[in-house]
Amino acid sequence: MTEKTQAPDRYDIKAVETRWRERWEAEEPYRADIAQKPKYYCLEQFPYPSGHLHMGHVRVYTLGDVIARYYRLRGYAVLHPMGWDAFGMPAENAAIKSGIPPKVSTLANIDYMKQQMRQMGLSFDWNREVTTCLPDYYRFTQELFLLFFERGLAYQRAGAVNWCPSCETVLANEQVEEGKCWRCDSVVTKRDLTQWYFRITEYADRLLEGLTRIDWPEEIKAQQTHWIGRSEGATVQFDLEDLGDRITVFTTRPDTLFGATYVVLAPEHPLVERLIAGRQEADAVRAFVERERLVSDIERTAETTEKRGIFTGAYALHPLTGARIPVWVANYVLVDYGTGAVMGVPAHDQRDYLYATKYQLPIPVVVKPESGEEPALPYVGSGVLVNSGRFTGMPSEGAKGAIAAELKALGHGDLKVSYRMRDWLISRQRYWGAPIPIVHCSECGPVAVPKDQLPVELPDNVQFTGQGASPLAQAADWVNTTCPRCGKPARRETDTMDTFVDSSWYYLRYASPHNTHEPFSRQEADYWMPVDEYVGGKEHAVLHLLYSRFFTKVLHDAGWLSVDEPFQSLLSQGMVIYGGAKMSKSKGNSLSPETILAEWGADATRLFMLFAAPPEKDFEWSQQGVEGSYRFLQRVYRLVVRPRGTGSDAGALERLNRIQARTIKKVTEDLGERRAFNTAVSALMEYTNALYQEIEAVSPEKQQQLLETLAVLLAPLAPYLAEELWHELGHHESVHASQWPSYDPAWLVEDEVEIALQVNGKVRGRLVIGAEWSEDQIQAQALQHESLAPYLAGHRVKKVVVIPKRLVNVVVAP
RNA sequence: GCCGGGAUGGCGGAAUCGGCAGACGCAGAGGACUUAAAAUCCUCCGAUCCGGAAGGAUUGUGCGGGUUCAAGUCCCGCUCCCGGCACCA
């Protein structure tokens, strides 16, 4: 009995999804075009093509897709593109193992992942796909490098850098987490190397200021603010006794200057060697410096590490008192923050206090609390200056400026702002990245490759050994070239760029993906930018998200762009959890999107991810949970296709009109403003339940209209089923090209409301009131209501609070 | 230590501007349909107590205070959990 005369009670997910996927791909309904209507740029962070989507990708692309589909239905010109962050080490490491060239494996991975995205029903405009490892993209990455170079924002510098021994390359500061490589977790060591940097510190204040103008989660803004680490203070210069030199320190507490009893240099400070030359302390200091240099960064910068130091034998002169104070070298001073030197003020700094106690240096108090009592040491608060020459008696806050001014007048210091953030180290000693477009000439130095010679393409004939320097260095016929300026023999730069450079501007390339003569056109970028909603993970809070803001500001300054912030709003989604923990292969709790999509289909998978938690919270996958979403979709399907009776019950019609209006309003707000997709889904469930209750009591025309509303509201969330229902309802165009429903606000106004009757705040009864009732009328009815009688009898009514449409609270004396 | 976020039934979560806590779903219980099961449909479902039941009382949003007619929501003081930073002068 396979014969089916009635509508089936379930739909075949695979058949439905295949049918519409094929049609959508043929018709390309998601092409973004500049149009005479408001634009909406919805972007999700593009993936590294590892070979397979993971559940985190499924979540982030679902969230973005809902937003994109919603705004399309609202009539916006929507840009919703996708691409590939395709340079990076995994492909190169795979090449070392397997011999398959990175380009080959990467492009194959892209093909597979693209097919997975198509299966998920994601509404990307594939005509705008960008792939950062292809020359038609990275030639512009190189062009942007040259722009930075011309503007003095890209420069080479020698110095100690972070080196990941496992990745065989250097890392930027942002890419070292607790002393370990962000990618592979190896302990990072130091190397002295000449490397390329982007001068992001020049934009520190603008990066801070911009945060006040964008709609990002507090959490992410706080992380960036802290990373930038702006700190207002002063420099103070201490002349060295018997030497022509001076030591410059940075302090945030110039008010405590009179309490400085010693000066400390970082072990790596360039002055150390000059200070000790010829002194009896020299050998001991050198030995100390050598020892400290070997200590790893994690240990070196841990707060709990014991403070160790050594006296250099040299003395400095206090700039205001002229006192002789000893110069030390100590492990707790960092060479790359401030000036790499500090003044030791033991009474008013925790670290200096510990140090001075250990080495028996004097600890004079120069700030006392307002109350005048003796402070417990170290006293790091503000107060009034004591023992501070002519500044004695001054409040410490005011003394900061006064002392800095005095120093400036004497030529011994000035006000100064320091930042924690360092310049961005972008060189990588790896093959699979965009080559830095520079030629090194022995006559002219580093010379920019002229624009018309871009791209500097990666050579194919290289060996991947994973050893030593960039594999590019071994490609002799590639490395050896001529100087673009003088024509003499020269060598190409063999380092490639950090892949974060590629991803710092991809959102602009989407505006002009086929432009062959510039990275993007200003006219197109100005139409689409800024990104209205950017969806991605929190792990990029100070990496990609900071770098992209920096790029946008530089391009704005160069006149290439009108905006100076790339991402107006940021939706930062939580992790996908399974079995109580973040998924990982090592924990054996990973879920494969392939299996899940095959079992439940894209719609149920999407719907469950949206329903089970708000976007920014972690989301736990559960088998029973996705079953619930699957059941709901089947229930909706049955509601639409099953044979239904009809009727003309005026009460039912009114109730259905009301819930229809309420649902449209709720789903509109939840998708559009609140991004509360979980409550949007629950509203649709309630609507569906209500339709089940009494849709048969109204006319066929009203039924059609109620169900059409359901299909359109469901379209952003479950695009395949919505399309199927839309066609079941007799339409021939796509539901995704239809219009978001509107509602008559009159239906939101209830003409009868049940309110709570409280006595002393406790609910004791209920009362149905008419919308037109006055407060007096409500109060009168409430007071005579029989349910309150036992509670009012024998008590004096002190007060009656009437909240229209909510409750009446009668306050009685005990 | 500092910064940010959080804590609500057995579970995920809702309560958007101080106004009836627990929407919606999951799990569970009962019932209908079925030869049976699945599926589906209907009902119940914070805790404690009273009651045969209908119903009622008390209590309840991490803890302790406070403001208010009214607090999950506001204020003060804590506890614990998650995330970030961590000798940054």
In this model, does residue A106 exceed pLDDT 60? yes
- Confidence band (pLDDT; 50, 70, 90) for A8? low
Give the nucleotide at minimum CA-to-C1' distance from A418.
B88
In this model, does residue A589 exceed pLDDT 80? no
Q: How many CB atoms lie within 10 A of CB A395?
A: 15
- In three state form, how does the secondary structure of A620-645 look? ECCHHHHHHHHHHHHHHHHHHHCCCC
Predicted confidence (pLDDT) per residue in A189-241, tens digit: 888 889 999 999 999 999 999 999 999 999 999 999 999 999 999 999 999 99
In this model, does residue A167 exceed pLDDT 90? no
Q: What is the domain-level CATH number for residue A546? A: 3.40.50.620
In this model, does residue A721 exceed pLDDT 80? yes
Report the nearest residue to nucleotide B2, CA vs C1'.
A226
Looking at residue A269, what is its pLDDT?
Answer: 94
Domain that holds residue A298: 231-418
Give the nucleotide at minimum CA-to-C1' distance from A232.
B89
A19, part of any domain: yes
Report the nearest residue to nucleotide B3, CA vs C1'.
A222
In this model, does residue A180 exceed pLDDT 90? no
Higher pLDDT, A5 or A601: A601
Report the nearest residue to nucleotide B12, CA vs C1'.
A612
- Confidence band (pLDDT; 50, 70, 90) for A559? very high
Three-state SS at A290? helix
Looking at residue A528, what is its pLDDT?
Answer: 97
Q: What is the domain-level CATH number for residue A641? A: 1.10.730.10
Rounded, the Å distance between the CA of A220 and C1' of B86 is 17
In the listed set A442, A472, A500, which residue is the last one of a domain according to the structure? A500
Predicted confidence (pLDDT) per residue in A295-330, tens digit: 877 788 887 888 999 999 999 999 999 999 999 999
Report the mean per-residue pLDDT for chain A. Answer: 92
Rounded, the Å distance between the CA of A345 and C1' of B79 is 36
Is there a contact between A576 and A605 (Cβ–Cβ < 8 Å)? no
Instruction: Tell me the one-letter amino acid at A558.
Output: A
Report the nearest residue to nucleotide B57, CA vs C1'.
A764
In this model, does residue A1 exceed pLDDT 60? no
Rounded, the Å distance between the CA of A791 and C1' of B55 is 18
Q: What is the ipTM of this complex?
A: 0.95
Rounded, the Å distance between the CA of A2 and C1' of B34 is 19
Report the nearest residue to nucleotide B25, CA vs C1'.
A628
A141, part of any domain: no
Centroid of chain to Cα A22: 35
* Phi-psi category of residue A369: left, alpha or beta, with phi > 0 → left and psi -120 to 50 → alpha: beta
Looking at residue A605, what is its pLDDT?
Answer: 96
Report the nearest residue to nucleotide B87, CA vs C1'.
A303
Shared domain for A653 and A633, answered yes or no, is yes
Rounded, the Å distance between the CA of A632 and C1' of B49 is 39
Task: Please give the average per-residue pLDDT across A573-583, as a whole number.
Answer: 83
Rounded, the Å distance between the CA of A151 and C1' of B46 is 65
- Confidence band (pLDDT; 50, 70, 90) for A633? very high
Give the nucleotide at minimum CA-to-C1' distance from A669.
B16
A578, part of any domain: no
Shared domain for A383 and A281, answered yes or no, is yes
Rounded, the Å distance between the CA of A800 and C1' of B19 is 14
Give the nucleotide at minimum CA-to-C1' distance from A681.
B24
Rounded, the Å distance between the CA of A225 and C1' of B3 is 10
A389, part of any domain: yes
In this model, does residue A6 exceed pLDDT 80? no
Rounded, the Å distance between the CA of A419 and C1' of B88 is 8
Predicted confidence (pLDDT) per residue in A140-153, tens digit: 999 999 999 999 99
Q: Give whole-number Cα distances, A315 to A105, A321, A343, in Å.
A: 62, 14, 13
Rounded distance between C-alpha atoms, residue A805 and residue A771, angstroms: 8
Q: What is the domain-level CATH number for residue A384? A: 3.90.740.10
Rounded, the Å distance between the CA of A673 and C1' of B44 is 36
Looking at residue A466, what is its pLDDT?
Answer: 67
A587, part of any domain: no
In this model, does residue A581 exceed pLDDT 80? no
Instruction: Tell me the one-letter amino acid at A330.
Output: A
In this model, does residue A176 exceed pLDDT 90? no
In the listed set A418, A444, A469, which residue is the last one of a domain according to the structure? A418
Task: Please give the average per-residue pLDDT across A771-790, as a whole number.
Answer: 87
Predicted confidence (pLDDT) per residue in A638-688, tens digit: 999 988 889 999 999 999 999 999 999 999 999 999 999 999 999 999 999
Shared domain for A160 and A255, answered yes or no, is no
A210, part of any domain: no
Shared domain for A120 and A159, answered yes or no, is no
Looking at residue A116, what is its pLDDT?
Answer: 94
Rounded, the Å distance between the CA of A342 and C1' of B28 is 66
Predicted confidence (pLDDT) per residue in A225-284, tens digit: 999 999 999 999 999 998 889 999 999 999 999 999 999 999 999 999 999 999 999 999
Give the nucleotide at minimum CA-to-C1' distance from A335.
B88
Q: Give whole-number Cα distances, A743 to A67, A666, A739, in Å.
A: 21, 11, 12
Predicted confidence (pLDDT) per residue in A58-104, tens digit: 999 999 999 999 999 999 999 999 999 999 989 998 998 888 999 99
Shared domain for A757 and A743, answered yes or no, is no
Rounded, the Å distance between the CA of A762 and C1' of B79 is 30
In this model, does residue A372 exceed pLDDT 90? no
Report the nearest residue to nucleotide B1, CA vs C1'.
A303
Predicted confidence (pLDDT) per residue in A288-298, tens digit: 999 988 887 77
In the listed set A471, A500, A529, which residue is the last one of a domain according to the structure? A500
Q: Structurally, how many domains does chain A consist of?
A: 5
Predicted confidence (pLDDT) per residue in A331-352, tens digit: 999 998 999 999 999 999 999 9
Rounded, the Å distance between the CA of A4 and C1' of B32 is 25
Mention every residue, 6+ apart, whose C-beta is less than 8 A from residue A284: A310
Rounded, the Å distance between the CA of A760 and C1' of B71 is 14
Task: Please give the average per-residue pLDDT across A712-737, as a whole number.
Answer: 96
Structure tokens at A709: 């509303």
Task: Please give the average per-residue pLDDT across A449-461, as a whole number.
Answer: 94
DSSP A539: G
Shared domain for A569 and A618, answered yes or no, is no
Looking at residue A354, what is its pLDDT?
Answer: 94
Give the nucleotide at minimum CA-to-C1' distance from A349.
B89
- How many percent of chain A have pLDDT more than 90? 75
Shared domain for A721 and A777, answered yes or no, is no
Task: Please give the average per-residue pLDDT across A397-420, as a whole number.
Answer: 95
Shared domain for A514 and A646, answered yes or no, is no
Shared domain for A468 and A399, answered yes or no, is no
Shared domain for A248 and A386, answered yes or no, is yes
A31, part of any domain: yes
Q: What is the domain-level CATH number for residue A767? A: 3.10.20.590
Shared domain for A427 and A401, answered yes or no, is no
Shared domain for A561 and A511, answered yes or no, is yes
Task: Please count the helices (runs of H) and the strands (runs of E) in chain A.
Answer: 25, 34
Is there a contact between A636 and A688 (Cβ–Cβ < 8 Å)? yes
Is there a contact between A583 and A576 (Cβ–Cβ < 8 Å)? yes
Mention every residue, 6+ apart, whose C-beta is less than 8 A from residue A131: A83, A84, A86, A107, A110, A137
Give the nucleotide at minimum CA-to-C1' distance from A345.
B89
Give the nucleotide at minimum CA-to-C1' distance from A336.
B88
A788, part of any domain: yes
Task: Please give the average per-residue pLDDT across A502-515, as a whole number.
Answer: 97
Looking at residue A3, what is its pLDDT?
Answer: 33
- Confidence band (pLDDT; 50, 70, 90) for A598? very high
- Confidence band (pLDDT; 50, 70, 90) for A169? confident
Rounded distance between C-alpha atoms, residue A494 and residue A428, angstroms: 9
Looking at residue A7, what is its pLDDT?
Answer: 52
Find and list the nucleotides of strand B having atoms within 7 Å of a protein beta carbon: 3-5, 12-16, 19-21, 23-27, 39-42, 57-58, 69-71, 83-89
- Confidence band (pLDDT; 50, 70, 90) for A769? confident
Give the nucleotide at minimum CA-to-C1' distance from A620.
B12
Give the nucleotide at minimum CA-to-C1' distance from A538.
B83
Give the nucleotide at minimum CA-to-C1' distance from A304.
B87
Rounded distance between C-alpha atoms, residue A282 and residue A229, angstroms: 36
Instruction: Decide the pairing of beta strands A797-803 and A762-770.
Output: unpaired
Looking at residue A5, what is its pLDDT?
Answer: 38
Q: Is the dihedral of CA A493, A499, A500, A502 positive or negative?
A: positive
